Structure 1
């Protein structure tokens, strides 16, 4: 149906509940990190933020997949990134999803619903959209967040 060498394949890594402890409070501050011109340092006011609550608000329905490929680079999904999928969300047109159909490996795409047609769009101009044949059942799960290890060098 699709060429695994020209699409971003998502490999299942297990439930997200084991990715973080039950609670993962980390120190936080009201100071923002400017992405543009640096501002003088403001007063540092610390509080706590539970990273597990932010990243995995619905642990029983959340799973981790690992992206492989470059078909979604314009959406910020890079080869090796982790995709946090929340099965409790209902996918809508325009959502970033992990989809599987016809026994194929799960893939990461943008869901487009056009009437009765289901189209899975790549976000790389070198990769064509995948139009799912009429009558084929597609299982789609919403990607809640994308995480990567920042690579140095």
Structure 2
């Protein structure tokens, strides 16, 4: 089972954090020598612009557990969760299941609404049978700068 812990809410006016992001060009063919100045061409991007679309509704959680590894969500990962997104089946969501926060994929099978782990090690949680509330939608995981 993967449990998550709330780390905090995204600040209402986070400081701009420019990260160097060199432009990597893939060439289809070689047509002479590259310009030496191309090594210095680059751009930067702000992590807040990349991951936080709705600041007042965005929260950061940390994952504990291994049930979502098949979806590449690992113990210790940080998740950016947006409460302003309307959750729907197919989303990876943070859900409150009988008072405990967890991260699962919301799947519909016939008339059943299920919260599913990434593999067969953990059984699906039928939302029809237990007290469940979808808390927010995971916008991004692995916020260890692998964009």
1:56 matched to 2:49: no
**Offset from partner CA, 1:68-127 (integer Å, 9 cap, x none):** 101000000101111110001011111111100332x10010001345432000102211
Match of 1:25 among 6, 18, 23: 18
1:8 matched to 2:38: no
Match of 2:62 among 54, 66, 74: 66
SS in 1 for 2:56: helix
Is contact 2:98–2:130 with CA below 8 Å preserved after alignment?
Answer: no
- Residue 118 (structure 2) aligns with: 123
Match of 1:85 among 81, 97, 105: 81
| CA distance, structure 2, for counterparts of residue 52 and residue 108 of structure 1 | 22
- Judged with a 3 Å threshold, the aligned counterparts in structure 2 of structure 1 residues 148 and 30 are, in CA distance, closer, same or farther, namely closer
- Residue 29 (structure 2) aligns with: none
Match of 1:109 among 84, 87, 104: 104
TM-score (norm 1): 0.76
| CA distance, structure 2, for counterparts of residue 114 and residue 140 of structure 1 | 21
- Judged with a 3 Å threshold, the aligned counterparts in structure 2 of structure 1 residues 115 and 65 are, in CA distance, closer, same or farther, namely same
SS in 1 for 2:50: helix
What is the aligned residue count? 135
1:47 matched to 2:43: yes
| CA distance, structure 1, for counterparts of residue 44 and residue 143 of structure 2 | 23
Unaligned stretches of 5+ residues in structure 2: 27-33
Task: Select the structure of larger CA radius of gyration.
Answer: 2
